[in-house]
Amino acid sequence: MTLTRRLFLFGSSCLALISGLPRLAHAQTARITFILVNDIYLMNEEEGPDGKKRGGFPRLAAVVKAEREKAEKSGGRAVFVHAGDTLSPSLLSGIDRGYHIIQLLNMIPPDIFVPGNHEFDFGKDVFLQRMKEAKFPLFAANMRNADGTPLPGYQDRALLDVDGVRIGLTGQALTETPQVSNSGDVRFSPLVASVREQTETLRSEGADFTVAVVHAPRVQDVELFTGRAADLILTGHDHDLFLDYDGRTAIVESSHDAHYVTMIDLTIRVGMSEGRRVTSWFPKFRVVDTADVEPDPAVLAVVRGYEAELSKELDVAIATTAVQLDSRTATMRTSEAAIGNLFSDAIRATTESDVAITNGGGIRGEKVYPPGTAITRRDVLAEFPFGNHVVVLDVSGEALRAALENGISLLPNTAGRFPQISGMRFEADLSKPAGQRVLSVRVGDAPLDENRIYKLATNDFLARGSDGYTMFRDAKRLIPDADGPLMANEVMVYLKKVGTVKTGVEGRIVFK
């Protein structure tokens, strides 16, 4: 997975404490710490570019337990917030559909959990089953069954009393979930409007301070922040380390995979002024780099057990090949390959796309599988060592032709950009200059229409414009780069469904 670590600190007030609070008659003071995590998929740590290991549930558990103990000793309150995306994607989730994630969260139960789009990657029924197993409060005010009723176990909002100060909580799921995941007939109303409606209701119910936990893209975060939709906005989805505070509203996101965990320490004072309750507050932000945290032993032991289980599952055969599959470099980077056809077929089928392109350089097993070979999950992982995600784009026929030209532009030299394709076939003349080699392209049974928009499945590496595929960089995302399933998992699902691999070299790429 490509890691994104960006810290946005807007304004000098972001990390500074306001020196004092107004003196209010009969004031009540609450001290509360919000612990935020979001977008945590991996059950254990991973090594970063700096060589340090960070993230994962054992380190997260150590942070949460320490903060809860600290709050209890000081007479304050700690509220652990999960802003969504965790059931998928990961290797073990591809096997147990997120069961282990819920069990790990149950060891350090959040005080509020809002679902992200990845909670629906395995469909509505699996989502409901996983949520039934959760031993923590579930919030999503803008998520409803087809008949308009709340989903089982979910609530719109709640009021917490902390030393006489009433804290209003509400949670909202990603409005665009149906477009990027498999949520079935679950309905998602506009997130920003839902936050405003819920916080207004909370205030009418007596909330002195409002907190919105959302799984939302940055554009909606900004709309919530600038519109002061809540006093504190805790968000997920963009994988950023993001903090902002303008003196009236605060917003925070905590990176991803618990690489960093953000604490927001609040002192909230409520008193009476001219016969009404008046609230004043200030925040202190603490960002914990979990590379500096010792993993919690109890959670680490459970994770080790799941890792052993995963290791066994990886050696389970999921298909048998009836044809020879060759993933050696010379094959993958110069010509149509049976295994390239198979893998591109897999991502096209699982995303129901018109066509698929993956780069030969992304398939790295360096192995020949003779007919009759049993293919295991471990074999698939060896072929996809980079942890790429599937991305679905809307691209024009003109862009598809340009992509194929790019893919063969360095021939006869071997090149990682060489295209392994599905749903189309093309003929090319390598004696012509690069960029003018493709003679004809057919999509399905019809000639390529350069003005038509096609649904393309590819990997996040190519979608970002890498390997010369710049024509994909600005294409409309139907499944965005960070939201797509792991390519390895999609191939595993496809292989298990197929059972016997019969896909060979079929003339999808013909050189004149």
pLDDT of residue 468: 96
CATH 3.90.780.10 fits 316-511, yes or no: yes
163: left (phi over 0), alpha (psi -120 to 50) or beta: left
For residues 184-207, average pLDDT: 98
Give me the helices (H) in 359-508, please.
Answer: 377-383, 397-407, 460-463, 487-498
- CA-wise closest residue to 169 among 228, 234, 105: 234
Give me the helices (H) in 453-486, please.
Answer: 460-463
Tokens read off for 296? 């919690």
pLDDT of residue 480: 79
Cβ distance 149 to 123 under 8 Å? no
pTM of the model: 0.85
Can you tell me the distance from the alpha carbon of 360 to that of 405, in angstroms, rounded to the nearest whole number?
Answer: 15
pLDDT of residue 339: 98
User: Look-up: residue for tokens 């380390």?
Assistant: 241
pLDDT of residue 481: 80
More confident residue, 344 or 11: 344
Dihedral through CA 199, CA 204, CA 205, CA 207, nearest 10?
Answer: 60
From residue 138, alpha-carbon distances to 74, 112, 215, 256, 466 in Å are 27, 6, 13, 20, 39
Can you tell me the distance from the alpha carbon of 233 to that of 371, in angstroms, rounded to the nearest whole number?
Answer: 56
CATH 3.30.2350.10 fits 28-310, yes or no: no
- CA-wise closest residue to 377 among 153, 165, 92: 92
For residues 351-374, average pLDDT: 97
Read off the pLDDT of residues 257-305 as tens digits, 9 standing for 90 and up. Answer: 999 999 999 999 999 988 889 999 999 999 999 999 999 999 999 999 9
3-state secondary structure of 33: strand
Looking at every residue in the chain, the average pLDDT score rounds to 93
Read off the pLDDT of residues 163-173 as tens digits, 9 standing for 90 and up. Answer: 999 999 999 99
* Domain spans in the chain, listed from the N-terminal domain onward: 28-310, 316-511
